[in-house]
Every structure is written in C-alpha cells, then in structure tokens.
C-alpha cells in the first residue's frame, strides 16, 4: 500500500522540481562526480546496469552541516543519446536501484534507447545511501514489545462504514494509548543512529539532489527528463525542462499546505470506484474467470460476498483479538491489488480462497490452520525490523503539527469511511498518520507556489480509475498551472499512455486540452472481460 501512495506524492512534487530548478544550479557537467562500476549484487542483479555514488550536501543552504552520498544506478543508452532520463522510485521510501533493476530495460525499450536511464535510492532509503534507511527500533523483539496489544499490529476492526457503534467506541478508546505510543516512537527514532539525519530527509532535498545529478551528467543548462514508474505500470511522469508530463497527479498543494490527516482521505476519493470496477469485472467473468463469483451473480452479490468475509474476520477478532488474519488484512490484500488490474484475477483466484480458509479456521478456532493460510497473504506484521522511511520522508515534508490529537485522527478516519472510501479509509498503520506526532520537519520544505509560469506547456495525464491518484488532483494541478497545463484523461485502468510516449520519443503534445484517451480495448483484467465491458456495466 505504502508504495503506491508514495509514488503519487513524488509525482505531485515535480511541480517543485520545476520551480527549484530555476533557482538552483550546482556543478557543471562534471562527469567525474560519478565513478560507474558494477552494482552491489544483493540489490541489482542485471549486469547491464552500472552503479555509482554521488556526493550530496546534507543541507543545500548550510554546507557546514556536512555531506552524504546517494547510491545511483544507470542503464546506458543503446541508441543516439538524447540525455539522461531520471526514474523516480516512488513511495516515498522505495529503492530506485531495485526499481531500475526491475524496469530499467523496459524503460530503455519504451524510449527507443535514446536516454541513459538513471535512478537512485533517495535520502532516507536503503543500506547504501547516506542518510539511508530510517530505523526506530533495534530489533524485531523491541518492535513487537513496543506495539504489543495495539492496533499498530492488528489493524482497525470495522465493517461497512463503521456501521457498528461498538467499533467506534473501541477505536476511540485506543486514542490516548496510540497518541502516547506515536509520541514515544518519535523519541525512539531520534535516539537511533539514523535519528541525526531526520531533518535532512524529504522531497525538497531529493529534488535538489536530482537537479545536482542532472547538472553533473548533462550540464547545467540541459533539460531534465523525468519518469515515474510504479509496479508494472509506468506512471509516465515526464519531466523535460521546458516540457513536462505529469501522470497520476496528486494536488501538490495538499501536502504542502494541509495536515496529513485531511490529505489521506482525499487521495482515496476514487478508490471505491476502482473496487466497484473490480467486483463488476468479477461478476461479468463469473466463476470461470473469478473464483469469488458464483454463476449468475451481480456485482452487488460479489461485493456482498467480500463484505461477508470481512464481517466474519471482524467477528472472530472481537472474540479473540490475537487471531492471525483480521479484517484489516483482507482490506490490505484488496487494496494492494486495486492498483494493478493484472493482480485482480490472482487476487480472486489465489489470495481470496486463502483468506476464506484462514477465516474459516479462525471461526472454528483452528488457529494453527489459520496461521498456515496467512502465509500467502500480504504481511501486516513484520518478520524483520520495519524501517520508517516512508513516514520520515512524508512527515519531513508535512506542515507543522497544528495540535492534532489521535482522537482527531481517528474521527477523521471514521468520517472518511462515510465520505471517501468506506472500505479502505480504515487501513492502519498508514504513513501519513505519524506526521502530527513526528518529532522533526525538514530543513527545507516546498510549500508553493505551484502556479509559476513555465516556459512551455505541461502535459498532465490522469487515469480516471486510479485508487490513490484521483483525477481531482490532476484537475487541481491543471487549474494551478492555468494556460501552462494541458490535461489528458485516460479512461482505463493504468495502461501505458500513448500520448506520453509519443511526446517523449517525438516531442509532440496534443493540441487539445482535456483530451480523453481511448480505453485499451484488448486488455482483459478477468478472463473474457475487457475494460470496455467493465466500464459499460458500471452505473456511474
């Protein structure tokens, strides 16, 4: 879950790059700032990728704060070189090295081999970059003991839209405990070795790092090319100095000007639409293509089946709060798959039956069997010490706390289960919820303006069915950019955008604002059911 949200945020922050680039010039085509060689094989296995470190000041406005380094990876251009294409790992908190290892060859192919494709582990990420992974606990035992008996380990129990008042009572009664825990967590993060770096982690510094690398690789006046990638789907954020494409856009003003408790529900406003598309596709495909459906079921029937499973897990947890598969696990499993239509059929065919078997076992008190079934599901509890890279980066970027309490946070979750996403608003933990209690903010944050006049038009691409980067974010950005923004809507589920590709390879931009891309008609999320059939069957 965290991966996707983060990707979206970094996309939004490209507006920052556009602004920061104009004021910032570091280096001057200094190729010797990079020493390319083989990569650490435990992270990058593709031998066609080269790696280097790149030195960075911890604080661009105070060089006396000292220096760090970022771990950088590069897939060399294979055709006439147009320049460097920076690929953002997303998250925040994801490894760019791992992303380049997985997707570098694909991006190279998609761009005709004309760019050196470069990615990096940003500040606050990975074992090689300094400052790297943000740790708040020394061992998994310390972690488990600290969070023992709290919703941090079990998730929030609820059904429907917090339909049962008992669940509201139970959640609100956790507020004082969780507030104390989150404040104490901040102290522990500061006490760990990575604690000294918390203020140097964040998106503004990461944007400056990218600009510094671009200056060293391509010279200070060369265009910066930028692409965002997320999990098999290219988010397709193209950033070309005077020409920019933003895809999967979050309204950049949210994070810069609002507290994160109001930010998260806004990201989820389209999530239930995607869920509706999922159950619709499942019902249309029937039991042959989707194991959740039985013969002749409607989308509402499939939804009722899923809600029934969530309810049974919820009821089992009420009897025994230590059960291995909770209703949150099922929501997480669904949420993780929503982003990727390729995962819809495997979710229905494989993970869903596992969840059913686990919940059956729990309901019949066969705990060992439930534990065994849990193994296939997404892991809520960690087997190794979790890092706090995502919270460190997003909370560094966040506005100062305005006295928000944990009770406020929980009330917002309850209310957004009614106004935003009934099924996904209650997913816990969520990286944004740490921010009101996080102990530091970055030495530099970007808080606008986002409507700076640009030399050329920005292409903004938004998928109309995207669980966390709703089209409203793209519209808001288009409005902020005014005449500088051209909005393209894609009425499908995350396929590669032809317009962006043509723009990237040929430099062509659509003449019309608000272009609507055609659905990718031959793509079938479920056997025998294409996206057009799903869209036609949806009632909105």
**Residues making contact with ligand NAG (CB under 6 A):** 27, 30, 32-33, 36, 48, 50, 55, 76, 144-145, 148-149, 160-161, 163, 288-289, 291, 320, 322-324, 345-346, 349, 365, 367, 418, 449, 451, 453, 475, 478-479, 482-483, 485-487, 501-502, 505-506, 513-514, 527
What distance in Å separates the CA atoms of residue 48 and residue 75, rounded to the nearest whole number?
Answer: 6
The burial of 251, by beta-carbon neighbours within 10 Å (0-12 exposed, 13-18 middle, 19 or more buried), is given as buried
Phi, psi torsion values for 215, nearest 5 degrees: -65, -40
**Token representation of residue 469:** 């980067």
Residue 484 CB neighbour total at 10 angstroms: 18
User: If you compute the radius of gyration of the chain from its CA atoms, what whole number of angstroms results?
Assistant: 23
Whether residue 449 is preceded by a cis peptide bond, meaning omega within 30 degrees of 0, is: yes
Nearer to ligand NAG, 176 or 346 (CB): 346
| Residue closer to ligand NAG, measured from CB, 161 or 354 | 161
State which residue, 93 or 341, has the beta carbon closest to ligand NAG. Answer: 341
Strands 115-121 and 83-88, sheet pairing:
parallel
Q: Beta-carbon neighbour count of residue 99 at 10 Å? A: 26
Q: Which is nearer to ligand NAG, 340 or 438 (CB)?
A: 340
- Minimum separation from the CB atom of position 381 to ligand NAG (A): 11
Least CB distance from residue 457 to ligand NAG, whole Å? 6
Q: What are phi and psi of 316, to 5 degrees?
A: -65, -40
CA distance 376 to 360: 16
The residue among 227 and 395 lying less far from ligand NAG, judged by its C-beta, is: 227
Task: Specify the residue, 99 or 478, whose C-beta has the smaller distance to ligand NAG.
Answer: 478
Q: How far is the CB of 273 from ligand NAG (least distance, A)?
A: 16
| Integer Cα distance of 520 and 534 in angstroms | 12
Q: Quote the least distance from Cβ 28 to ligand NAG, whole Å.
A: 6
Closer of 66 and 149 to ligand NAG (Cβ): 149
Q: How far is the CB of 53 from ligand NAG (least distance, A)?
A: 9
Residue 230 CB partners (closer than 8 Å, separation 6+): 3, 4, 7, 90, 248, 339
User: Given the complex with ligand NAG, which of 307 and 401 has the nearer CB atom?
Assistant: 307
Residue 234's contacts (CB-CB under 8 Å, 6 or more residues apart) are: 103, 106, 107, 110, 227, 228, 247, 496, 497
Q: What SS3 state is found at 52?
A: strand
* Three-state secondary-structure class, residue 233: strand
Nearer to ligand NAG, 191 or 513 (CB): 513
Q: How far apart (Å, rounded) are the C-alpha atoms in residues 161 and 347?
A: 23
Minimum gap (Å) between residue 92 Cβ and ligand NAG: 26
How far is Cα 307 from Cα 303, in angstroms, rounded to an integer?
6
In the chain, the N- to C-terminal Cα span, in Å, equals 26
What is the smallest separation between the CB atom of 30 and ligand NAG, expressed in angstroms? 4
């Amino acid at each position: 879950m965290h991966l996707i949200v983060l990707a979206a945020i970094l996309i939004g922050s490209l507006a920052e790059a556009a602004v920061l680039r104009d004021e910032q010039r570091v280096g001057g085509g200094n190729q010797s700032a990079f020493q390319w060689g083989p990569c650490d094989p435990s992270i990058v296995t593709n031998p066609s990728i080269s790696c280097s470190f790149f030195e960075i000041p911890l604080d661009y406005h105070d060089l006396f704060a000292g220096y760090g380094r970022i771990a950088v990876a590069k897939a060399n251009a294979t055709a006439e070189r147009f320049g460097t294409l920076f690929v953002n790992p997303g998250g925040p908190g994801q490894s760019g090295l791992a992303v380049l290892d997985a997707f570098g060859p694909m991006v190279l192919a998609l761009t005709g081999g004309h760019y050196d494709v470069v990615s990096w582990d940003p500040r606050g990420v990975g074992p090689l970059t300094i400052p790297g992974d943000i740790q708040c606990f020394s061992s998994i035992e310390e972690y488990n003991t600290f969070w023992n008996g709290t919703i941090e380990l079990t998730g929030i129990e609820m059904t429907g839209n917090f339909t049962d008042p008992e669940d509201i009572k139970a959640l609100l009664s956790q507020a004082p405990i969780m507030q104390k825990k989150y404040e104490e967590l901040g102290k522990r993060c500061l006490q760990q070795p990575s604690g000294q770096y918390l203020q140097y982690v964040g998106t503004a510094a990461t944007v400056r790092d990218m600009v510094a690398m671009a200056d060293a690789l391509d010279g200070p006046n060369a265009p910066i090319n930028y692409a965002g990638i997320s999990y098999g789907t290219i988010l397709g954020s193209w950033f070309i100095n005077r020409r920019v494409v933003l895809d999967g856009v979050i309204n950049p003003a949210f994070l810069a000007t609002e507290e994160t408790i109001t930010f998260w529900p806004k990201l989820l406003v389209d999530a239930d639409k995607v869920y509706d598309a999922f159950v619709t596709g499942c019902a249309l495909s029937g039991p042959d293509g989707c194991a959740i459906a039985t013969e002749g079921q409607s989308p509402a029937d499939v939804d009722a089946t899923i809600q029934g499973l969530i309810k049974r897990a919820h009821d089992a947890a009420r009897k025994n709060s230590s059960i291995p598969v909770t209703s949150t696990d099922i929501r997480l499993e669904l949420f993780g798959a929503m982003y990727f239509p390729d995962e819809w059929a495997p979710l229905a065919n494989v993970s869903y039956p596992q969840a059913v078997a686990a919940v059956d076992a729990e309901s019949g008190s066969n705990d060992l069997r439930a534990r065994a079934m849990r193994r296939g599901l997404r892991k809520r509890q960690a087997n190794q010490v979790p890092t706090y890279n995502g919270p460190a980066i997003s909370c560094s970027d966040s506005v100062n706390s305005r006295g928000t309490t944990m009770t406020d946070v929980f009330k917002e979750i309850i209310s957004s289960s009614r106004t935003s996403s009934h099924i996904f608003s209650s997913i816990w933990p969520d990286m944004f919820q740490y921010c009101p209690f996080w102990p530091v903010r970055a030495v530099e944050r970007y808080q606008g303006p986002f409507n700076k006049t640009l030399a050329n038009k920005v292409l903004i691409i938004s998928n109309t069915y995207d669980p966390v980067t709703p089209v409203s974010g793209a519209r808001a950005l288009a409005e902020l950019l005014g005449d500088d923004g051209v909005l393209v809507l894609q009425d499908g589920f995350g396929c590669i955008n032809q317009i962006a590709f043509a723009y990237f390879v040929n430099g062509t931009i659509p003449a019309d604002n608000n272009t609507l891309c055609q659905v990718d008609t031959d793509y079938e999320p479920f056997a025998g059911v294409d996206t057009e059939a799903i869209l036609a069957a949806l009632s909105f």
